Chain A
Amino acid sequence: MSIPAGTAYVGIIRLAVASLARTAGFDEERVDDIRIAVSEACTNAVLAHEEAGADQPIKVAWTEAADRVIVQVEDRVGARGADGVSPQDSQGFSTRMVMSVALLQEMADDLTIEPSESGGTTSRLTFSR
């Protein structure tokens, strides 16, 4: 999936991901965890684009394996720290990023935030099933 880097589109990704998670057999509590974590990763990507004035789309990839689902959220904005924390986002929520990473780490079974090949940042969220 590819979405424009606008805040209005994050809710659409939540709907899509919740539907995919149900189809993949996750129970409702896990569906909610996945919805929250992917929403956070997309929010961070959208805000990073806003901050940088970048208008390229954000890519969201859903991959299913026998024992897990991997969701990758890729933006086109230069790498943020390994902890994903930027000093302040465009909406001035200075403590937001710390809370976002706390939610991501808790909801996903594994989380990596790394520079991508295209010069952006990729958040890779793994959910065991």
Chain B
Amino acid sequence: MELGLDVHKVGDHSVVDVKGEIDVYTAPKLREKLIELVSEGSHHVVVNLEGVDFLDSTGLGVLVGALKRVKAHDGSLSLVCTQDKILKIFKITGLTKVFPIHSSVDEAAGGAA
């Protein structure tokens, strides 16, 4: 089971396209990538979950941790997600109130192209 992580820039946002399953085995890889981005000075991060088949509490923990890091730099972390089964995870855990969740990368990056 592999987790695909591709990073590209949209305006001043760093967009992380995640592919695969985010679970207890793969979440540390996502955490490392997000820590690396923030430490390199990317404080506006978009995590694109459209290619994610599975997300669990460890993945949520990583996203919450990354949100705290970017906020410490007055930054932002927003998500792209339209899949009902993934949105359900955010709703049940109350995280729809914590993360801005958008339907496209362009929308999440504030329309910047």
Contacts and interface: CB of A to CB of B under 8 A. Distances in A.
Interface of A: 7-8, 10-11, 14, 29, 32, 35-36, 39-40, 43, 46-47, 91, 93-97, 99-100, 102-103, 106-107
Contact of B61 (A40, A99, A102): A99
A7 B92 contact: no
Contact of A43 (B56, B85, B92, B94): B56
A93 B56 contact: no
Contacts, number: 67
B24 A103 contact: no
Determine the interface band of chain B, counting residues with CB < 8 A from chain A.
20 to 34
Task: Name B's interface SS.
Answer: helix
A43 B89 contact: no
Nearest to B64: A95
Interface in B22-79: 23-25, 27-28, 54, 56-58, 60-62, 64-65
A87 to B, nearest CB: 14
Contact of B89 (A47, A93, A103): A103
Contact of B58 (A11, A93, A102): A93
